[in-house]
Amino acid sequence: MKSSMVTNGTSTPIQSRLGTRIEGFSREQLLKFYRTMLLARRLDDKEIQLKNQSLSYFQISGAGHEAIQVAAGLALRPGYDWVFPYYRDRALCLTLGITPHEMLLNAVASKDDPNSGGRQMPTHWSSPRLHIVSSSSACTTQCLHGVGAAEAGEFYQRIPATEQAASSHDDEVTLVALGDGQTSGGEFWESLNTACNRRLPIVYLVEDNGYAISVPIEIQTPGGDISDLVESFPGLKVIRVDGTDAMASFRSMTEAVVYARARSGPAFVRARVTRPYSHSMSDDERQYKSTTEREAEAARDPLPRFAAFLTTHRVVTENELAGIAADVDREIQEATDLAIVAPKPKASTAALHVYSSTIDPTSIDFETTPIQEGQPDTMVSAINRALSDEMGRDPRLVVFGEDVADCSRAELLSEVKGKGGVFKVTLGLQRTYGRERVFNAPVAEANIVGRAIGMAIRGLKPVVEIQFFDYIWPAMMQIRDELTMLRYRSNNGFSCPIVIRAPIGGYLRGGALYHSQSGESIFAHCPGIRIAFPSCAIDAAGLLRTAIRCDDPVLFLEHKHLYRQTYNKGIYPGPDYTVPFGRAAVRRPGTDVTILTWGALVQRSLLAAEQAATQDGIDVMVVDLRTISPYDWDGIKRAVSTTNRVVIAHEDQLTCGFGAELAARIADELFEHLDAPIKRVAALDCPVAYSPVLEEVILPQTSDILQAVRDLSRY
């Protein structure tokens, strides 16, 4: 056997108290290693029992993965390094410091579960103190969070002017753990791209048990070994290990962690493990694995293997092993006894922590008065200035996305004007604030949002751009399953209040299907994210500042057609101007019909209102919602109870557009105020075609709104 020292991921050896060592481990350390593996296995057994007794509601085990996980945990420094685990990482999390009691509180869905307060399935670990970041159940999403977190650590080292910088270290590492099946996910590759490109101190641990539920490795991975496929990534140290061999696992994890700590780049460990308990309690592997295969796996089980190793090397006797097992069982039983009587969450807390409870973007704190100095300017200029002012105010603010930098090759900045975004919204920000804070991203939207989440978890304030709303969809899983849910699922343990700016909408002439889309209602269906949709320059500046200063994720929708109009220009309202969310603006008072609208239809509604007044004598109120989530229900109530007739006009398609939600609620709660049915004006249920002739008929026009107003007033 090769000898090496226990290093705890540093080059400092751990001193043996006994003097005799195996692979640098003292006897005590070896027994602790074994005990943690056994503790993990027996906790799985206990949870299976609890599930069978209906005291718990789900079980997925880490059985077969224990050796590599304890090794990984020992190579890391809890609360110093950052860990993005997945659902099998019980032994890893035990090694890092989550206790059996805390795990069982999670299993029985107690309110005292420190991982999630009874919100997340068992084995979804979370501990801000230990830097174990709450994971979702979605495969592969954690990879990009790990990248963002590692980038945040690097950022703080280079720009230490923030309070959060104190929690970063020049030799910290980030561990990302995942299964073999998860390496098929695109986000895994997107994360490797950035990890290698930026030489980030990340350790990937692929726990390869040969199956993704029932699908064997050869169906997921060409050649069957993911480590062969990633070998050509520049700077990536690739290590292969039998993850059921405790000592070999420790050597490999240590090597990987030391490499990343030394800032040599990212490391990648592919550990072959077993999965003796089927995928989960909802799966029976006998349906797709042969008896021979199962027997061969059983022979590699890391627990009996390590026990045999320890007895063969006379570290421990069979009797002593039995003593350890009895001690483990006693500890688990005590923890179980406490967990099953632990209090359950109160029903009244069901919706707690969907949003921040410390900063309320609808509050009067965000009511300010605009400064009235200077010339009116465009919406694009207002957004650019607001971004720049906020970057000057908050050193944690970073801007990235596709083409947002002035020039990635910063040495050319003296020669070139700079790009600053395809709509020039971010022009000059890199020049002013430097490439550390304003930089380009690969053409990969999940990469942008996933990394931003990882950065925000560590206290940065990313304001990212999705180049066109039409291309937000690759980031949808990051938005729906991660961004909007992190705070809730971790019971307020972690949050990621990023701002996603997305140019949206049509009326461009030539925008066609993939540069004209709307779709705010899809995101309004995702609790946990705020949605702002300004229609004019002053609101754009004020709402963007509120988005940045609030503590929730915000989708900030910038209508491309409104960027450079003259009718929505405004004087820049100053560096502290904020507009509270959930406050509609009455753009035109009126008594006969209300038009509820937002975005590009505000101006069209105003034109329709003018025509209705001059041609028909109808007095139309135009209400600009300004934010979709939350929306101003009180403002809507006031308007509807004044006019008793309401048109909802939006650019998005009719079916399941946000107007459907408003119409349903008005019908439900304001029925007594209505003198006519609620009318919606919206796009056809059809993509936006390229031909102007087609676009005009597809998107709602002023004449459509006018017609709706006339119809309603005659009703």
Ligand X SMILES: Cc1ncc(C[n+]2csc(CCOP(=O)(O)OP(=O)(O)O)c2C)c(N)n1
Catalytic residue list: 515
Question: Exposed (0-12), middle (13-18) or buried (19+): which is 80, by Cβ within 10 Å?
Answer: middle
Minimum Å distance from CB 219 to ligand X? 11
Residues that bind ligand X (CB under 6 A): 88, 137-139, 179-182, 207, 209, 211-213, 279
Q: Please choose which of ligand X, Mg ion, none residue 299 contacts, taking the beta carbon within 5 to 8 angstroms, the exact cut-off set by kind.
A: none
Beta pairing class for 570-571 and 376-377: antiparallel
Nearer to ligand X, 212 or 649 (CB): 212
Question: Exposed (0-12), middle (13-18) or buried (19+): which is 415, by Cβ within 10 Å?
Answer: exposed
Site for Mg ion in 267-286 (CB under 5 A): none
Separation between Cα atoms, residue 88 and residue 63, nearest integer Å = 8
278: alpha, beta or left, given left = phi > 0 and alpha = psi -120 to 50? left
Asked if 578 and 542 touch (Cβ cutoff 8 Å), the reply is yes
Helix and strand numbers (H, E) in the chain are 24, 21
Separation between Cα atoms, residue 600 and residue 534, nearest integer Å = 9
Nearer to Mg ion, 65 or 650 (CB): 65
Which of 75, 206, 77 lies closest to 142 in space, CA to CA? 206
Residue range at the interface with Mg ion (CB under 5 A); choices 134-142, 175-183, 261-269, 336-344: 175-183
Minimum Å distance from CB 217 to ligand X? 8
Asked if 170 and 477 touch (Cβ cutoff 8 Å), the reply is no
Residue range at the interface with Mg ion (CB under 5 A); choices 99-107, 121-129, 205-213, 554-562: 205-213
Helix, strand, or coil (residue 145): helix
Minimum Å distance from CB 62 to ligand X? 9
Minimum Å distance from CB 392 to ligand X? 40
Which of 627, 600, 650 lies closest to 544 in space, CA to CA? 627
Beta pairing class for 585-588 and 570-571: unpaired
Minimum Å distance from CB 282 to ligand X? 10
Six token digits for residue 69: 């996980």
Nearer to ligand X, 126 or 611 (CB): 126
Asked if 711 and 680 touch (Cβ cutoff 8 Å), the reply is no
Q: Please choose which of Mg ion, ligand X, none residue 620 contacts, taking the beta carbon within 5 to 8 angstroms, the exact cut-off set by kind.
A: none
Which of 465, 376, 474 lies closest to 426 in space, CA to CA? 465
According to the binding rule CB under 5 A, does residue 141 interact with Mg ion? Answer: no
According to the binding rule CB under 5 A, does residue 183 interact with Mg ion? Answer: no
Asked if 623 and 594 touch (Cβ cutoff 8 Å), the reply is yes
Q: Please choose which of Mg ion, ligand X, none residue 182 contacts, taking the beta carbon within 5 to 8 angstroms, the exact cut-off set by kind.
A: ligand X
Minimum Å distance from CB 218 to ligand X? 13
Separation between Cα atoms, residue 466 and residue 473, nearest integer Å = 10
Question: Exposed (0-12), middle (13-18) or buried (19+): which is 624, by Cβ within 10 Å?
Answer: buried
Nearer to ligand X, 56 or 135 (CB): 135
Six token digits for residue 350: 């069901």
Q: Please choose which of Mg ion, ligand X, none residue 138 contacts, taking the beta carbon within 5 to 8 angstroms, the exact cut-off set by kind.
A: ligand X
Nearer to Mg ion, 177 or 550 (CB): 177
Minimum Å distance from CB 28 to ligand X? 31
Nearer to ligand X, 280 or 440 (CB): 280
Total binding residues toward Mg ion, as defined by CB under 5 A:
6
Separation between Cα atoms, residue 204 and residue 435, nearest integer Å = 27
493: alpha, beta or left, given left = phi > 0 and alpha = psi -120 to 50? alpha
Separation between Cα atoms, residue 663 and residue 278, nearest integer Å = 49
Minimum Å distance from CB 180 to ligand X? 4
According to the binding rule CB under 5 A, does residue 64 interact with Mg ion? Answer: no
Partner residues linked to 597 by β-bridges: 624, 649
Q: Which residue is nearest to ligand X (CB)?
A: 179
Q: Please choose which of ligand X, Mg ion, none residue 454 contacts, taking the beta carbon within 5 to 8 angstroms, the exact cut-off set by kind.
A: none
Minimum Å distance from CB 245 to Mg ion? 18
Q: Please choose which of ligand X, Mg ion, none residue 46 contacts, taking the beta carbon within 5 to 8 angstroms, the exact cut-off set by kind.
A: none
Among 7, 209, 336, 490, binds Mg ion (CB under 5 A): 209
Q: Please choose which of ligand X, Mg ion, none residue 511 contacts, taking the beta carbon within 5 to 8 angstroms, the exact cut-off set by kind.
A: none
Q: Please choose which of ligand X, Mg ion, none residue 305 contacts, taking the beta carbon within 5 to 8 angstroms, the exact cut-off set by kind.
A: none
Among 154, 172, 180, 704, binds Mg ion (CB under 5 A): 180
Place of tokens 């239809």: 601
According to the binding rule CB under 5 A, does residue 470 interact with Mg ion? Answer: no
Separation between Cα atoms, residue 75 and residue 141, nearest integer Å = 24
Asked if 428 and 437 touch (Cβ cutoff 8 Å), the reply is no
Among 179, 345, 553, 570, binds Mg ion (CB under 5 A): 179
Nearer to ligand X, 489 or 626 (CB): 489
Q: Which residue is nearest to Mg ion (CB)?
A: 179
Minimum Å distance from CB 664 to ligand X? 31
Q: Please choose which of Mg ion, ligand X, none residue 139 contacts, taking the beta carbon within 5 to 8 angstroms, the exact cut-off set by kind.
A: ligand X
Nearer to ligand X, 90 or 461 (CB): 90
Minimum Å distance from CB 199 to ligand X? 26
Length of the chain: 715
Half-sphere exposure of 541 (CA within 13 A, CB side): 28
Residue range at the interface with Mg ion (CB under 5 A); choices 173-181, 399-407, 409-417, 525-533: 173-181
Nearer to Mg ion, 65 or 198 (CB): 65
Nearer to Mg ion, 207 or 652 (CB): 207
Nearer to ligand X, 138 or 410 (CB): 138
- Eight-class DSSP state of 647: E
Q: How far is CA 544 from the centre of its chain?
A: 20
Helix, strand, or coil (residue 249): helix
According to the binding rule CB under 5 A, does residue 297 interact with Mg ion? Answer: no
Q: What are the Cα distances from residue 57, in Å, to 118, 348, 375, 436?
A: 11, 21, 63, 46
Place of tokens 């949870």: 47
Question: Which one-letter amino acid corresponds to residue 527?
Answer: P
Q: Please choose which of Mg ion, ligand X, none residue 153 contacts, taking the beta carbon within 5 to 8 angstroms, the exact cut-off set by kind.
A: none
Which positions ≥6 away from 187 have C-beta within 8 Å? Answer: 140, 141, 143, 144, 446, 447, 450, 478
Q: Please choose which of ligand X, Mg ion, none residue 700 contacts, taking the beta carbon within 5 to 8 angstroms, the exact cut-off set by kind.
A: none
- Binding residues for Mg ion (CB under 5 A): 179-181, 209, 211-212
